[in-house]
């Protein structure tokens, strides 16, 4: 009778232990899945905003080239990136934008065009949104990558075959950023 009680106690303890482990595993897995969803949504939105940035810069370039008869090698480089829009090409877009601002300073008539002003404003707003998305994404990449090193997440990573994420690099806001919200 005593051995039967001991076996029942051991079985009951094992059932409780397995239940607790499965509850903890589910909790940590849900926490990890939330972070992964944030990463995926921010990356998708970031890619969409990069595409929008490309569209805006091409629109501005076409305006500058047709109305003001200005040509540039940087503009040609930006046009060539059409099929390969990523964070690495962002430097080319930034160079284009700097050159466009130089053209604006050299030609006062350019500043007077409402459509041109709107395009520049849209570009600035898009750039600010990209910066926010990059910051948001990088925050969750750091959290995600730090989880890999901790128990029980390291087990979940191995079981689910997750890989480390990389940060999105880019320029951050500097003092020359043209922002109407400055205080």
pLDDT tens for 29-68 read: 888 889 889 899 988 998 898 888 888 888 888 877 777 7
Q: Which pLDDT does position 75 carry in this prediction?
A: 77
Residue 96 CB coordination number (10 Å):
23
Q: Which pLDDT does position 151 carry in this prediction?
A: 79
pLDDT at 171 over 70: no
Average pLDDT (115-126) is: 84
Nearest to 47 by CA among 161, 145, 130, 157: 130
Strand, coil or helix: what is 42? helix
Kindly write down the DSSP assignment for every residue of 115-140, as one continuous string.
HHHHHHHHHHHHHHHHHHHHHHHHHH
More confident: 159 or 23: 23
Torsional sign, CA 61, 66, 68, 69: positive
- Cβ-based neighbours of 141, under 8 Å, separated by 6 or more: 39, 165, 166, 167, 168
Phi and psi dihedrals of 178, rounded to 5?
-85, 100
């Amino acid at each position: 009778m005593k051995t039967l009680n001991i076996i029942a106690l051991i079985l009951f303890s094992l059932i409780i232990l397995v239940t607790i482990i499965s509850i903890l595993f589910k909790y940590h897995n849900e926490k990890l899945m939330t972070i992964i969803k944030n990463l995926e949504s921010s990356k998708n939105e970031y890619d969409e905003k990069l595409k929008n940035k490309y569209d805006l810069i091409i629109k501005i370039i076409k305006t500058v080239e047709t109305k003001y008869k200005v040509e540039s090698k940087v503009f040609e480089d930006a046009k060539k990136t059409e099929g390969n829009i990523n964070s690495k090409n962002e430097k080319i877009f930034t160079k284009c934008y700097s050159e466009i601002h130089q053209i604006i300073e050299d030609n006062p008539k350019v500043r007077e065009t409402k459509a041109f002003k709107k395009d520049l404003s849209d570009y600035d707003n898009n750039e600010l949104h990209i910066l926010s998305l990059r910051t948001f994404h990088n925050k969750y990449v750091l959290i995600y990558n730090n989880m890999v090193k901790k128990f029980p997440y390291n087990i979940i990573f191995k079981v689910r075959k997750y890989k480390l994420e990389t940060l999105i690099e880019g320029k951050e806001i500097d003092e020359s950023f043209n922002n109407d919200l400055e205080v």
